[in-house]
Amino acid sequence: MAGNFWQSSHYLQWVLDKQDLMKERQKDLKYLSEEEYWKLQIFFANVIQALGEHLKLRQQVIATATVYFKRFYARLTLLKMCSFYKMLSPVKTLLVLQEFGVVSNTRLISAATSVLKTRFSHAFPKEFPYRMNHILECEFYLLELMDCCLIVYHPYRPLLQYVQDMGQEDMLLPLAWRIVNDTYRTDLCLLYPPFMIALACLHVACVVQQKDARQWFAELSVDMDKILEIIRVILKLYDQWKNFDDRKEIAAMLNKMPKPKPPPNSEGDQSTNGNQSNSYSQS
């Protein structure tokens, strides 16, 4: 049901409890500090953003791809997946989407190769070795782990409604929209309904623009404690982001993560599929 958020798979299956999310993440946090995990979230979201911009996709499509990536790793530890999935999950999430039209296989592979080489070679120094058969294989893992829940509600539409109701569209909308974009570098899209994220982003924009909107917020029938929780996460994101130099830090973080062992093969399999096995186990 795409027309009603409260009856959609987004709300019924993918607004998660924070304790459950952190429980799933404990295996990662044995090797990574909480600060490093935050920075990894920022980095992978930046990769998806760069790829989407290279393909000239709309921001909401890029945001949907980022949500798919986060849903995938909300159910699966980063440590069990080699760079094959870390690199191809954001690529494939963009391919899964149909709302922007079909992207040719050649164009998708070319875009991934170009983006990783020109913007993220410090993290992925080896050339992009994967082809469409690898990406299509990744699609099955992605869809299975998400239980085929492809409906995603974003904060953009409620944000537009709130700003118009406030009567400050020109003053607040550009900044609040950018803050919404930045929230996809956090877990907020997994933990809160999008209308709450929109309100929190609007609140931050009001503070930055020195717009007194206390009366407007006071008239809302919403749990302001949750809005303040979201605002604290947004402020923490900017604090982490400000001190994050991915060119200097990300390679060390990726190297800290254990590399999965390739599945055992017979000698015959190794001789015929050696190149594929080697590509899967690269880090």
CB 10 within 8 A of CB 149: yes
Q: Which residue has the higher pLDDT, 278 or 113?
A: 113
CB atoms within 10 A of CB 10: 23
Q: Which of 123-127, 129-133, 196-200 has the highest mean pLDDT?
A: 196-200
The structure tokens listed for 94 are 């963009």
pLDDT tens profile 14-47: 888 888 888 888 888 888 888 888 888 898 888 8
Closest CA to 75 of 25, 10, 12, 19: 25
pLDDT tens profile 223-255: 999 999 999 999 999 998 888 877 878 877 777
pTM: 0.81
pLDDT at residue number 56: 82
In the chain the domains, ranked by start, together with CATH numbers, are 17-149 (1.10.472.10), 155-243 (1.10.472.10)
pLDDT at 277 over 60: no
Distance between CA atoms of residues 205 and 201, nearest Å: 6
Would you give the end-to-end CA distance of the chain in angstroms?
40
pLDDT at residue number 1: 43
DSSP string, 152-176: ---SHHHHHHHHHHHT-HHHHHHHH
Length of the chain: 283
Provide the residue type at 237 as one letter.
L
pLDDT tens profile 68-121: 888 888 887 776 655 444 445 444 555 544 455 556 667 777 777 777 777 777
Distance between CA atoms of residues 100 and 172, nearest Å: 28
* pLDDT band for position 273 (cuts 50, 70, 90): very low
The structure tokens listed for 106 are 């050649």
pLDDT at residue number 178: 95
**3-state class (DSSP) for residue 211:** coil
pLDDT at residue number 246: 78
CB 258 within 8 A of CB 31: yes
Tell me what the mean pLDDT of segment 122-138 comes to: 68
pLDDT tens profile 193-229: 999 999 999 999 999 999 999 999 999 989 999 999 9
Q: What is the mean pLDDT of the chain?
A: 78
